[in-house]
Amino acid sequence: MTTSPRVERNLRAAMERLLSGNPVASDGRLSPESLAKEAGVGRATVYRAKHILDALDERIAERRSQVGEVAFLVDEVAALKREIETMRSAHSREIARLLASSEVLAQRVQLLTLENDQLRRRVSQGQGKVTFLQPR
C-alpha cells in the first residue's frame, strides 16, 4: 500500500524540518516516530512510505559522515592553531636574538669609529707613520 501525494509532500516537508533542526510538532529527533508527529500522520503511514524512510536514512548517513568530517576539520584547525602559536613563539625568540645581535654590532661599529678617529688624529698630528699600499 502506498501513500497519497499529499501525505508524501507532508512527510518530505517534515523530514526537511527535522533535518534542518526546525521542528514544529515533534521533539526534533531524527526518527520515524518524530517524522510521523512532524507530518501529522500515524507511524504506520510513515512505515508504508518506505522510500521516504530510505531517504531519511540516507540523509542521516550523509549528516553523520559530514559530522565526522567536521570533527576532523575541528581537530585540524586546533592543530594549525598550535602550530601558529609555536611559530609565533619561535619568531619572537628570533626577533629578540636579532635585536641583541644588532645592539652588539652597533656597539662594535661605535668602538671602531672611535678607534678610527683616534688614528686619524694621530696621523694628522704627525704622531704615526702611515704607509699607503698600492692597489694590485
Each residue's pLDDT tens digit, 19-76? 888 999 998 888 899 999 999 999 999 999 999 999 999 988 888 787 787 877 887 8
Domain count, the chain: 1
Domain of residue 107: give its range.
Answer: 5-119
Residue 65 lies in a domain: yes
Task: Give the three cell numbers for residue 65.
Answer: 559522515
Whether the predicted model's global pTM rises above the 0.85 cut: no
CA distance 20 to 6: 21
95-118: per-residue pLDDT in tens? 999 999 999 999 999 999 999 999
Query: Best-predicted range by mean pLDDT among 2-6, 48-52, 65-69, 130-134?
Result: 48-52
CA distance 107 to 103: 6
Residue carrying the nine cell digits 499529499? 6
